[in-house]
Amino acid sequence: MKIPLSYSWRSLWTRRLTTTMTLAGLALVVFVFAAVLMLAHGIEVALIDTGSDDNAIVIRRSSTSELVSQIERDAANIITTLPQIARGADGKPQASTETYVLINLEKKETGDMGNISVRGISPGAMQLRPQVRLTEGRMFRFGTDEIIIGQNIARRFQGCEIGQTIRFGESDWVIVGHFAAQGSAFESEIWGDVEQFMPSFGRPVFSSVTVRLRNPEEFTRFKASVEQDPRTQMGDVKREREYYREQSALMSSFVRILGLLVTFIFSIGAVIGAVITMYAAVANRTVEIGTLRALGFRRRSVLGAFLVESTLLSLIGGSVGIGLAALMSFVRISTTNFGSFSELGFGFALSPSIITASFVFAVTMGLIGGFFPAVRAARLNILTALREA
Amino acid sequence: MGESIGRPMVEVRNVSKSYHRDSIEIPVLQQINIAVPEGEFLALMGPSGSGKTTLLNLIAGIDRPTSGEVIVQGTNIGQLNESALARWRASHIGFVFQFYNLLPVLTAFDNVELPLLLTNLSKSERRNRVELALKLVGLADRMAHYPKQLSGGQEQRVAIARAIVTDPTLLVADEPTGDLDKVSAGEIMDLLDRLNKEFRKTIVMVTHDPRAAEKAHTVTHLEKGELA
C-alpha cells in the first residue's frame, strides 16, 4: 500500500508559506494559459457563431473574404434562383445579395479612427440570420437612407446613437436602430439596403451571396450547380460556418501561438519554483524518508508520495488559475480582426476542453517540478537519511 | 519464512563491516558472532564508535555486512534483494529510534497505523490493532494528538506502539532512552521490559545508559568493532 495521501497533503500544509508562494506561481501561469485559450476560443466563437450550418455563402474564387470579393449582378441573380435554396412564406428564395465595405469612424474613448464593416443586405437577410434582433429603435426601411448599427459598434464609436446621422460613401445615413446578434461578428457591423449602398460606394457588383439551403445536405449539389455553370463558376461556395471559421483562423491562431509561447516561458519559472519547493521538502524531511524506508515502505512508495505532493500542489494552483481565468468571461474586447481588417467584438470563452487542457498543463508542470526531487527522495540511503536526525 | 526449531532467533556469523571514505577502508565491525535466543532481551553497550549501532542496523536489515551472515528466524537476510528486504522488515522488525522518528504531520493514530498500511489488513482491522497498541503503551486517550502535542516520553511510547503494532518477530531499539529525562526513561524501560516478559518479544537494544541496560537479560559489550 502507498504512503497515505494525508501525509502528502498535511506536509504541504505544514509549509504554508512556501506552498502558498509556489501555488501563486502555478496559479498565475495556469491563469495566463487558460486566458489565452479562452481569448482564442472567444474569437472563434464570435466568428464561427456568425455563420449558420443551414446557410451557404458564395464569394469570388480566390478571394480570402467578402472584402475582396466581387459577384456580378447577373451571376447573383442566377445563384439566388437555384432550386436547392429554401423558399420563404412568400415563395421567394431565402437569399441575400450583399455588399461589404469598410469605413472609418472615431472611437469614443481614444478619438482614434477604427475600421468598421458596412454590410448592404437584401430583404431576405433577416430570415437567414435569426440570431439578429433589434435592441433599440426599429429596422431600417429598404429603399431609404436608413441604417441599423450593431451594439458593439454603437457602444464604442462616436455618433452612433439612434437619430444621429453618419456620413460615408458620399451620403448621409440616418441611424434608426441598434441590434444584437448573440455576440457574433454581426454585432460589429453597420447594416443598410444593399441597393442604396452600392451606388453610394460606386460599386456595381455585390461582394457575396448568402442563401439558406432547403436542408444542409443539399450543400454539395448547390456547390456543384454554382461551380459547374459557366455563368457562375467564378463563385466559390462555402458553408457559412466554415467561411467564418476561416475568417477567425488567422487571428485566433496568432493569439494562441503568441499566448502559448509567453505561457511556456512563464511555465519554466513556475516549474523552477515547484522544483525548489519540492527539493526543500525533501531536504527538510530526510529523516522522515529514512524512517518510512526503515519501516518497509519501498522506494517507489516514497517516489509516489512526493509526486502526489507536487501533483496536489499543481491541482490546487491549477484550480485557482482556472477560477481566476473564469472571471475573465465577464470581460469583452473589441479590436481589429486581422482577417477582415475591421472591428470585431469578442469575449473570453471558457469551454470544457480549456478546463481539461489547463488541468493537464498544471499537472504536467507539477510532475516535472516534482519528479527530480521525488527521485532524489526515493534514492536516499536509509542509513544516511536516518543519520540526519 | 523458514522457522527452525532449536535455532536462535538471531544469528550473527563472522560478520565484518567496513565503510569506505575516499579510498580509505574504515573497519567498523570485525568477525562478530552473536546468537540471540527467542524471548531474549539483549543490550549492546560500548563507547561511541564501537560499532554497536552498526550491528543493530545489520540485524534490523537496514544495512548489509561486508562479509559474514545475519540470519533472523532462519532467513539469511543478506541474500534478500532490496524489495524483499523491505517487505521482510515490514513484517519482522519493530523499530524504536532515539529521537522517536514520528512523522510530525500525522497524528499518533496515523503514525502507529503506518506499518499496517504495508499489510493486507482491512481498515477496521487496522483500527483495532492501532487502538490496542496505543492502549498497551497507555496512550489510548492521545490517539488524535500530533507529535508536537506530546511529551518526549509520550512520543517514544507512540513509537513503541508503532514498533509492536504489526506483532513483529524482533524489536530493535537504538538508544530508546537517549533523549529522555530520568522518569520518562524509566517508564520506557518498564514498557520494554513488559513487552519482553508479558508478550515474549525478543529485543535487541543499543544503549549507553547502564540503568537501561539493567532491564536486559544479557549485556554484550563492543569495543573497536569487536566483542569485548
From first to last of the 389 residues of chain A, give the pLDDT tens digit: 578 888 888 888 888 888 899 899 999 999 999 999 998 898 888 777 777 888 999 999 988 888 889 999 999 999 999 999 999 888 889 999 999 999 999 988 888 888 899 999 999 898 899 889 999 999 999 999 999 999 999 998 999 999 999 999 889 999 999 999 988 889 999 999 999 999 999 999 999 999 999 988 999 999 999 999 999 888 999 999 888 888 888 888 888 898 899 889 989 988 998 899 889 889 989 999 999 999 999 999 999 999 999 999 999 999 999 999 999 999 888 777 766 666 777 889 999 999 999 999 999 999 999 999 999 999 999 999 998 76
Give residue A389's pLDDT: 65
Q: Is residue B158 part of a domain?
A: yes
Quick check: A207 and A66 in contact, CB under 8 A? Answer: yes
**Whole-number Å distance between alpha carbons of B39 and B44:** 16
Give residue A5's pLDDT: 87
Is B105 within 8 Å of chain A by CB? yes
Chain A residues with a Cβ under 8 Å from any Cβ in chain B: 1-4, 6-7, 10-11, 13-14, 287-288, 290-299, 382-383, 386, 389
Tell which of B101, B121, B172 to mutate to test the A interface (max A CBs under 10 Å): B101
pLDDT per position as a tens digit, B12-30? 999 999 988 888 889 999 9
**Whole-number Å distance between alpha carbons of B85 and B77:** 7
Residue of chain B whose Cα is closest to the Cα of A15: B105
Is B103 within 8 Å of chain A by CB? yes
Give residue A334's pLDDT: 75
* Alpha-carbon distance A12 to nearest alpha carbon in chain B (angstroms): 9
The order of strands in the sheet holding B170-174 is B93-96, B170-174, B202-206, B41-45, B218-223, B226-227
pLDDT per position as a tens digit, B119-138? 999 999 999 999 999 999 99
Quick check: A349 and A38 in contact, CB under 8 A? Answer: yes
Give residue A340's pLDDT: 64
Give residue A281's pLDDT: 87
Q: Is residue B221 part of a domain?
A: yes
Q: Does residue B2 surpass a pLDDT of 80?
A: no
Is B80 within 8 Å of chain A by CB? no
Domains in chain B: how many in total? 1
Residue of B95 and B4 predicted with greater confidence: B95
Instruction: Report residue B4's pLDDT band, with 50, 70 and 90 as the boundaries.
Output: very low
What average pLDDT does the segment B56-70 reach? 95
What average pLDDT does the segment B215-225 reach? 93
Give residue A14's pLDDT: 83
Q: Does residue B102 surpass a pLDDT of 90?
A: yes
ipTM of the complex: 0.92
Q: Give the CATH number for residue B221.
A: 3.40.50.300
* Alpha-carbon distance A299 to nearest alpha carbon in chain B (angstroms): 9
What average pLDDT does the segment B164-183 reach? 94
Amino acid symbol at B17? K
Domain range for B100 is 38-62+81-227
- CB contact (8 A) between residue A389 and residue B99: yes
CA distances from A327 to A5, A320, A376 (A): 31, 11, 39
* Alpha-carbon distance B112 to nearest alpha carbon in chain A (angstroms): 11
Looking at beta carbons, which residues of chain B come within 8 Å of A292? 103, 114
Closest among B100, B78, B69, B65 to B174, alpha carbons compared: B100
- CB contact (8 A) between residue B95 and residue A3: no
Residue-wise DSSP of A164-209:
-EEEETTEEEEEEEEEE-TTSGGGGEEEEEHHHHHHHHT--SBSEE
* Alpha-carbon distance B169 to nearest alpha carbon in chain A (angstroms): 14
